[in-house]
Chains A and B, each alone.
Chain A
Amino acid sequence: MAHATSIQYEPVAEIGGGAYGTVFKARDIQSGQFVALKSVRVQTDQNGLPISTVREVAVLKRLEQFDHPNVVRLMDVCAIQRSDQETKVTLVFEHVDQDLKTYLERTPAPGLSPERIKDLMRQLLCGLAFLHSNRVMHRDLKPENILVTSQGQVKLADFGLARIYSCHMALTPVVVTLWYRPPEVLLQSSYATPVDIWSTGCIFAEMFRRKPLFCGESEVDQLGKIFEVIGLPPEEEWPTDVTLTRKNFPPNMPRPIADFVPEISEQGAQLLLKMLTFDPLKRISALNALEHSYFQDGETLSQTKAKVMQ
């Protein structure tokens, strides 16, 4: 790990954080380019950094070696000891000056073309398939951390940070959006990589609608809004390790997804439903989603696979 971040990277604005540290937009003085500095304060003892932090950083550095086109570059990692008990770990990421939220907002009516949506979705799923095949889940996928370059290249950001931050999360209450959270997270059940597919489904719908699909104001409200669309799941699919019971929700029947996403093609709607599947074990994976017939026109399967392997 290198030292002296402040010399090579000069912060120019605060762009987020709070819960775990702070995120800055900064300038790399040598290249002149903008970067994102993500810092986290880590408690240390006489053995130095906790092994969990070292392991998570090692995972990110290993991912970086693949140079995948659909994830942001990790350019540098710096550790600065602040005191005997605290070290500041700063991750330096490539900064892309546009996110999917902005991209959707500034697209004039009637919105993105079906081909453009398909291309964005293919890139998003390629990035996810890459992360998942390396056993990294994102956990907080949303339009704000899906970056889109001026040339239309999708790059996922903020992946793999959740566990580095997790021990610090409880310290500061921050408002985090619930809109892209899957039922298993809202129910506080166990979860894994399918969480990201749920979020991807919500974002897929949003690309057509240009507004979010499920805008809940609390965990229960969010679940209620989800069940209004996909229907209340059967009792046998309800997780057993949760406190919130199925009886808390009205017995909604599933409604046609095209009522909520009017412009979507039939195959798109099929794929969307496989992503918005209540049971995480039955939800489609990123790799299988890329093989779905929705993606089969235009580009051949082998080309899609070649992109994933990159």
Chain B
Amino acid sequence: MTLEDELTSAAAQGHTAEVSRLLQAGAQVNGVNRFGRSAVQVMMMGSTPVAEVLLRHGADPNVADRRTGATPLHDAARAGFLDTVRLLVNYKADPRAKDKANCQPIDLARKSGLTDVVAYLECVLSGNSGL
């Protein structure tokens, strides 16, 4: 098990302290695990603290899933975690990114009926990203 395997597992389980510890121990924040995914791609989307630690350490928020083309912003928007959506956008996640089904994050939030995320992303897309 590599440090990156451990980092992605800790991120996926929302273990913030463990994520910090592994980064300090030298785990590469954009390194991939044995499934070819980085920590920010597999993190527990509801754990804004984990997202914050990863992004502060330089995690690339625009990395797309090699199979579906979904970015972390797609996944956070689909699940409706507004705090994480906001954080990703603040760290320059592209709100116009399209997955392989040609959907933007806002389309997935709309499909899930998540009005708060839809409203926020509408503002971002219209250029008022200072929200």
- A residues adjacent to B (C-beta < 8 A): 10-16, 25, 27, 29, 32-34, 96-99, 101-103, 105-106, 144, 148-151
Top 10 A-B residue pairs of the complex, sorted by shortest distance between their CB atoms: A98-B46, A150-B80, A97-B45, A13-B42, A13-B12, A102-B14, A13-B8, A102-B47, A12-B37, A12-B42
Q: Which of B72-122 contact A (CB under 8 A)?
A: 74-75, 78-83, 99, 101, 108, 114
Residues of B within 8 A of A144 (CB): 13
Q: A29-B67, A102-B46 are in contact. Are A34 and B13 (CB under 8 A)?
A: no
Known: A27-B68, A99-B44. 6 other contacts (CB 8 A): A97-B44, A97-B45, A98-B47, A106-B49, A150-B46, A150-B82
Q: A32-B68, A33-B78, A150-B81 are in contact. Are A16 and B13 (CB under 8 A)?
A: yes
Q: Give the residue name and chain of the A residue nearest to B108 (CB).
A: A32
Q: A16-B13, A98-B44, A151-B80 are in contact. Are A32 and B37 (CB under 8 A)?
A: no
| Total A-B residue contacts, Cβ distance less than 8 Å | 89
Distance of A102 Cα from B17 Cα, bound (Å) = 12
Distance of A16 Cα from B15 Cα, bound (Å) = 12
- B residues adjacent to A (C-beta < 8 A): 5, 8-9, 11-14, 16, 33, 35, 37, 41-42, 44-49, 65, 67-68, 70, 74-75, 78-83, 99, 101, 108, 114
Distance of A103 Cα from B45 Cα, bound (Å) = 11
Residues of B within 8 A of A102 (CB): 14, 44, 46-47, 49
Cross-chain contact A13 with B33 (CB below 8 angstroms) = yes
Distance of A148 Cα from B14 Cα, bound (Å) = 13
| Min C-beta distance of B46 to chain A, whole Å | 3
Residues of A within 8 A of B82 (CB): 150
Residues of A within 8 A of B81 (CB): 97-98, 150
Q: A11-B35, A98-B44, A150-B81 are in contact. Are A34 and B9 (CB under 8 A)?
A: no
Q: A16-B13, A149-B80 are in contact. Are A29 and B68 (CB under 8 A)?
A: yes
Q: Give the residue name and chain of the B residue nearest to A97 (CB).
A: B45
Distance of A105 Cα from B13 Cα, bound (Å) = 13
Cross-chain contact B35 with A12 (CB below 8 angstroms) = yes
Cross-chain contact A106 with B47 (CB below 8 angstroms) = yes
**Looking at B5, B37, B114, which has the most chain A CB atoms within 10 Å of its CB?**
B37
Cross-chain contact B12 with A25 (CB below 8 angstroms) = yes
| Min C-beta distance of B33 to chain A, whole Å | 6
Residues of B within 8 A of A106 (CB): 46-49, 83
* A-B CB contact pairs (8 Å), 10 listed: A12-B42, A13-B11, A13-B35, A25-B12, A29-B67, A97-B44, A97-B47, A102-B44, A105-B49, A106-B47
| Min C-beta distance of B30 to chain A, whole Å | 15
Q: Give the residue name and chain of the B residue nearest to A26 (CB).
A: B35
Distance of A32 Cα from B8 Cα, bound (Å) = 19
Residues of B within 8 A of A32 (CB): 68, 70, 74, 78, 99, 101, 108
Distance of A33 Cα from B68 Cα, bound (Å) = 10
Distance of A33 Cα from B76 Cα, bound (Å) = 11
Distance of A101 Cα from B46 Cα, bound (Å) = 11
Cross-chain contact A14 with B9 (CB below 8 angstroms) = yes
| Min C-beta distance of A208 to chain B, whole Å | 21
Cross-chain contact A97 with B46 (CB below 8 angstroms) = yes
Distance of A98 Cα from B13 Cα, bound (Å) = 9
Distance of A219 Cα from B92 Cα, bound (Å) = 49
Distance of A11 Cα from B70 Cα, bound (Å) = 15
Residues of A within 8 A of B99 (CB): 32
Distance of A150 Cα from B112 Cα, bound (Å) = 11
Distance of A15 Cα from B81 Cα, bound (Å) = 20
Residues of A within 8 A of B83 (CB): 106
Q: Give the residue name and chain of the B residue nearest to A33 (CB).
A: B78
Q: Give the residue name and chain of the A residue nearest to B9 (CB).
A: A14
